């Protein structure tokens, strides 16, 4: 399973004090709650899928690809300007050089090549079985 994320905003990880939150009205609560819900959903899905694949001794069959430190216009879904597209290409190129996780120091570039080979080999195996 290749899981492609849309990225998370590193600005969402900011902390709020109780004093600050105590002054919020309903509208001020909406943004942090939306940010937490979105981040939690992404992290929990990755955690559950990773755990299932590990339990099945198939952790090499699961790869989550996601940038977790997006900032600025890279975080907006509706900015299709040329400048933002160039920025997103650079974000992707930089992501390829990062480690998959703290536990797995393999880069995304190496992991994606390994994953592509695994999928290609399995397709060839199925094609060979179908021809008999």
DSSP labels, 37-97: HHHHHHHHHHHHHHHHHHHTT-GGG-EEE--S-B-GGGG-SS---HHHHHHHHHHHHHHHT
pLDDT tens, residue by residue, 9-62: 765 556 778 998 899 998 888 878 887 787 777 788 888 999 999 999 998 899
Domain ranges of the chain: 2-131
Choose among 50, 41, 56: nearest CA to 103.
Answer: 50
E strand or H helix that includes residue 63: strand 63-65
Q: What is the pTM of this model?
A: 0.71
> In percent, how much of the chain has pLDDT > 90?
49
The dihedral formed by the CA atoms of 1, 113, 107 and 51, expressed in degrees to the nearest 10: 20
């Amino acid at each position: 399973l290749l899981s492609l994320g849309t990225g998370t905003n590193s600005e969402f990880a900011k902390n709020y004090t109780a004093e600050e939150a105590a002054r919020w009205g309903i509208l001020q609560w909406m943004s942090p709650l939306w940010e937490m819900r979105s981040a939690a959903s992404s992290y929990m899905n990755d955690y559950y899928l990773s755990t299932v694949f590990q339990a099945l001794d198939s952790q090499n069959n699961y790869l989550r690809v996601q940038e977790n430190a997006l900032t600025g216009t890279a975080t907006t879904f509706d900015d299709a300007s040329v400048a933002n597209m160039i920025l997103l290409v650079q974000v992707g190129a930089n992501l390829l050089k990062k480690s998959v996780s703290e536990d797995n120091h393999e880069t995304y570039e190496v992991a994606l090549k390994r994953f592509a080979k695994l999928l290609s080999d399995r397709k060839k195996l199925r094609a060979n079985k179908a021809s008999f």
